[in-house]
Amino acid sequence: MKKILAISAIATALLLTGCSQVGAAATVGNTKITQATVQASIDSIIAERKKVDTSQMQLETGSTLNIAQLRFQVLTALIREVAKDYKVTATKAEIDTRRTGILGQVGGATGLPKALVGAGIAPANFDTYLEAVILSGKISQAIVATGVSQDALGAEITKIVSLKAAALKVTINPRYGKWDPVKADIVATDSAGNAVKSTTP
């Protein structure tokens, strides 16, 4: 379930600047990620935590949770755009198959809520998570098929995604933090914690 975190590695060197659109947490080309979308994920995750035993989990809270949910949305949007260039898709059948596989790993539908809580994925975002994982795998396969070695794969993906982000003029609302090109991540600023509401369950 933590595989979505690995997707952040492909975003090295992306420069996300201030977002001018009112109500936008970020934009990726013509795709607008609203603050309401990010907040809905946060609220859902916090609500789900109350339904399972989280005593052995290390859970994100406050601005860290805010950033994590925005990161999920931004990176998923970038992956979708890169997938268009490689003419790869994640079909409903593929998503359903991947979901079935994960359900088998976590103990069925009854075990899924706890698994999603541990992974920091809102239930409504589960299929989006599966789509991102499938697309990332197909993009990697397509790149390797061109002759790129496994050792060079990460750097090549970073280059491709960076060029796509530059072409799309990706932006992020500075209230949520700022982009650190060295860490390839969104990092908190003094005001980031006030961007959206989140509470420790």
Whichever domain contains 127, its CATH number is: 1.10.4030
Q: How high is the pLDDT of residue 18?
A: 43
Q: How high is the pLDDT of residue 126?
A: 97
Q: How far is CA 114 from CA 56, 176, 188, in A?
A: 11, 27, 27
95 in a structural domain: yes
193 in a structural domain: no
Contact 195, 19 (CB under 8 A): no
147 in a structural domain: yes
Q: How far is it, in rounded angstroms, from Cα 54 to Cα 2?
A: 16
Number of domains forming the structure of the chain: 1
Low-confidence stretches of the chain (pLDDT beneath 70):
1-22, 178-187, 190-201
Q: How high is the pLDDT of residue 188?
A: 73
Q: How high is the pLDDT of residue 183?
A: 52
Q: How high is the pLDDT of residue 64?
A: 86
196 in a structural domain: no
Kindly report the number of other CB atoms within 10 A of residue 9's CB atom: 14
180 in a structural domain: yes
198 in a structural domain: no
Q: How high is the pLDDT of residue 177?
A: 75
197 in a structural domain: no
| Stated pTM of the model | 0.79
Q: How high is the pLDDT of residue 161?
A: 76
Print the domain residue range for 22: 3-188
Q: How high is the pLDDT of residue 127?
A: 97
111 in a structural domain: yes
Q: How high is the pLDDT of residue 38?
A: 94
Q: What percent of the chain has pLDDT over 70?
A: 78
